[in-house]
């Protein structure tokens, strides 16, 4: 009977992937706790106009959740150092604030806030995040499956599958090269977004977040390739602001 009840609860929430140490699925796709951080290693390529040739450099990059805010129906994390900060750089750029949001229907959005954004604006009212939850910032909705497409209606009609986030692969495997990752098999979803000037590919793991990130420009050399090597989650605490949705 207990096994039946557990299976029923998981089917209702639609997400049957578990950490080995946990008995419940994650309530948000990305870990939403202040202080959680990820360390990535990889390569950045760019065009050096002084030598008039493409060059590359190794990079170590840290992404950190600085603040988590809950409003009715939505939870938001201010993230410092989303890997896209390295696009079009020589690997020495300063990490910038980004916003990752998930609503009660498990829609995910993300947005570059820019270096001068006033974070105190997030304290004003229950609908302060509405302007960030639009088609232009929409990423995906989970549960996920291979072939799922996330974009506006016009882009979905395209035959070339451009200008959509598409789940191109869905697999399960262990992550022995990632310090702090659970020891058992993890569900991994590969997302790809292609446009005329560039393409972006990310691998995501529920409860862990971003496993890898790649950006490639189709003209001038501008490439970013990162792989997660360390995951440092922080248990949820009173630092989270506001009521749970």
Tens of pLDDT, residues 23-52 = 356 789 999 999 999 999 999 999 998 899
Q: Would residue 138 count as lying in a domain?
A: yes
* CATH number for position 147: 2.40.360
Dihedral over Cα of 166, 75, 119, 240: its sign: negative
Residue 13: its H or E element: helix 2-13
Asked whether 48 and 35 are in contact (CB, 8 A), the reply is no
Q: Which residue ranges of the chain lie beneath pLDDT 50? A: 1-23, 238, 242-245
Nearest 10 degrees: CA dihedral of 224, 107, 101, 168?
-10
d(CA 76, CA 205): 18
Predicted model pTM: 0.85
Q: Would residue 9 count as lying in a domain?
A: no
Question: Tokens representing 158?
Answer: 């395209």
Q: Is 145 exposed, middle or buried (0-12, 13-18, 19+ CB in 10 A)?
A: exposed
∠124-128-129 over CA atoms, to 5°? 150
Asked whether 47 and 80 are in contact (CB, 8 A), the reply is no
d(CA 92, CA 86): 8
The domain containing residue 195 runs over which residues?
21-232
Q: Would residue 245 count as lying in a domain?
A: no
Predicted local distance difference test score (pLDDT) of residue 237: 66
Asked whether 79 and 100 are in contact (CB, 8 A), the reply is yes
Total count of domains within the chain: 1
d(CA 66, CA 97): 9
Predicted local distance difference test score (pLDDT) of residue 240: 54
Q: Would residue 242 count as lying in a domain?
A: no
Q: Would residue 38 count as lying in a domain?
A: yes
Q: Would residue 16 count as lying in a domain?
A: no
d(CA 91, CA 223): 10
Q: Would residue 244 count as lying in a domain?
A: no
Q: Would residue 47 count as lying in a domain?
A: yes
């Amino acid at each position: 009977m207990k096994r039946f009840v557990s299976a029923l609860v998981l089917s209702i929430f639609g997400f049957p992937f578990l950490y080995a140490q946990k008995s419940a699925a994650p309530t948000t796709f990305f870990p939403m706790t202040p202080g959680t951080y990820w360390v990535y290693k990889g390569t950045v390529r760019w065009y050096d106009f002084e030598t008039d040739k493409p060059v590359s450099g190794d990079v170590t990059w840290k992404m950190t959740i600085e603040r988590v805010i809950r409003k009715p129906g939505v939870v938001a994390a201010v993230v410092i150092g989303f890997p896209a900060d390295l696009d079009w750089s020589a690997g020495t750029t300063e990490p910038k604030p980004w916003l990752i949001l998930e609503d009660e229907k498990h829609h995910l959005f993300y947005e570059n806030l820019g270096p001068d954004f006033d974070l105190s604006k997030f304290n004003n009212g229950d609908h302060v995040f509405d302007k960030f939850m639009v088609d232009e910032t929409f990423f995906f909705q989970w549960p996920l499956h291979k072939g799922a497409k996330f974009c506006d209606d016009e882009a979905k009609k395209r035959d070339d599958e451009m200008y959509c986030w598409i789940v191109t692969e869905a697999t399960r495997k262990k992550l022995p090269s990632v310090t702090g990752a659970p020891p058992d098999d993890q569900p991994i979803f590969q997302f790809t977004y292609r446009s005329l000037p560039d393409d972006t590919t990310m691998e995501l793991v529920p409860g862990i977040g971003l496993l890898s990130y790649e950006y490639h420009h189709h003209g001038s050399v501008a490439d970013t390739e990162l792989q997660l090597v360390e995951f440092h989650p922080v248990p949820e605490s009173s630092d989270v602001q506001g009521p749970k949705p």
